[in-house]
Amino acid sequence: INIYGKSKWMVEQMGQSISQTHGMHFAALRYFNAAGADLEGEIGESHDPETHLIPLLIQTALKKRPHFTLFGSDHETPDGTPIRDFIHVTDLAEAHVKALEWMRENNKNLTLNLGTGKGHSVKEVIRAVEKELGSSIPVVEGERLKEDPPLLVANPEKAFELLNWKPKHSDLPTIIQTAKQWLKKR
């Protein structure tokens, strides 16, 4: 587990402690890779500098960056690149609402993994962005990131069951198109 994962775990532990001490309830909703933008193109995120895979690839495909740096292709995965579970922000928003409703009805804490349960490799995402935008992406290989795990895919079954929720917008084409629509406005 990397430092980011440890920090998230520590916050969950603090939530448990506050719950036990003060009788407050909390939800620990563990996102995997939040991606995409509002389906109507009104809300999105913007980072400076950008560090997220899909926006970086879209910017490169739109010629706003000279190339995309692939940090390692020697992972123990079928194509050598990390595999991640991408979940659309609209699906995450719906899960939040359903989690709050569940907590109100059950008066309990809630810890859930929010993802699709399906992973896509970095190379798969590169090909998907190229296909959706009709543009090739120049790729430069960089050094593998030390703490980059080869596989991060959610087990969302508990969320599916308790919340009666499943992602509806988390296919790569929808994620890419909504992110592109938002990024083109920037």
* pLDDT digits 0-9 by tens, 111-147: 999 999 999 999 999 999 999 999 999 999 999 988 8
Tokens 């896509």 map to which residue? 120
The predicted-structure confidence for 59-69, as pLDDT tens digits, reads as follows 999 999 999 99
Which tokens sit at 96?
A: 């939040």
- Tally Cβ neighbours within 10 Å of residue 146: 8
- Distance, CA of 50 to CA of 45 (rounded, Å): 10
- CATH architecture observed for domain 26-185: Alpha-Beta Complex (3.90)
Sign of the Cα torsion 89, 165, 132, 137 reads positive
Query: Whose CA is closest to 75, among 35, 32, 122, 31?
Result: 122
The verdict on whether 4 is a catalytic residue reads yes
In the chain, the percentage of residues whose pLDDT exceeds 90 is 90
Mean of per-residue pLDDT scores for the chain:
95
Catalytic position from the list 1, 2, 3, 4: 4
pLDDT of residue 163 exceeding 80: yes
CB 168 within 8 A of CB 134: no
Question: What separation in angstroms does the CA of 77 have from each of 53, 82, 84, 121, 166?
Answer: 18, 7, 11, 8, 26
pLDDT of residue 8 exceeding 80: yes
The amino acid occupying position 177 is: Q
pLDDT of residue 1 exceeding 80: no
